[in-house]
Amino acid sequence: MIRVAGIIVLLAVYIWCMVDVLRSPRSTVRNLPKGIWLMIVVLVPIIGGAFWIAFGRTSQTRTRRARRGPVAPDDDPRFLAKLDEEEWRRRMRERRDEA
């Protein structure tokens, strides 16, 4: 029973490594091209998967830190430009009202 469970775990890791190589963007793959990593994982099942995890894959902490776009309104250049434009319009209205 333990032998069967071990085989199932190794098969699951093998399949996960293949899928992970295929789904990884080319820009995040380290040390070798993505196609070479896929061949290594497919042709050398257990050791290839271990090499992929250790040397080819980027760590999740690096990819999680990368931000896509502004997080807060004061980081958004469009929002800041809108505020500047509103301020400019307010000043122009005040000048017109004074004259």
Residue 60 and residue 81 share a domain: no
The three-state secondary structure class of 25 is coil
- What mean pLDDT do residues 1-12 have? 90
Global pTM?
0.55
Which residue segment(s) compose the domain that 94 sits in? 70-99
61 and 95 together in one domain: no
**64-86 tens-digit pLDDT:** 555 666 677 777 888 889 999 99
User: Tokens 């980081």 map to which residue?
Assistant: 75
Sign of the torsion angle spanned by Cα atoms 91, 92, 96, 97:
negative
**pLDDT over threshold 80, residue 62:** no
- Please give the pLDDT value at position 61: 44
Say whether both 62 and 81 belong to one domain. no
Name which of 18-22, 53-57, 85-89 the model is least confident about: 53-57
Shared domain for 62 and 89, answered yes or no, is: no
* C-alpha distance from residue 47 to each of 36, 52, 54, 82, 91 (Å): 14, 9, 10, 55, 69
- Are both 52 and 77 inside the same structural domain? no
The separation between the first and the last C-alpha atoms of the chain, rounded to the nearest angstrom, is 92
- pLDDT score of 86: 94
Pair 61, 85 in one domain = no
Count of the separate structural domains present in the chain: 2
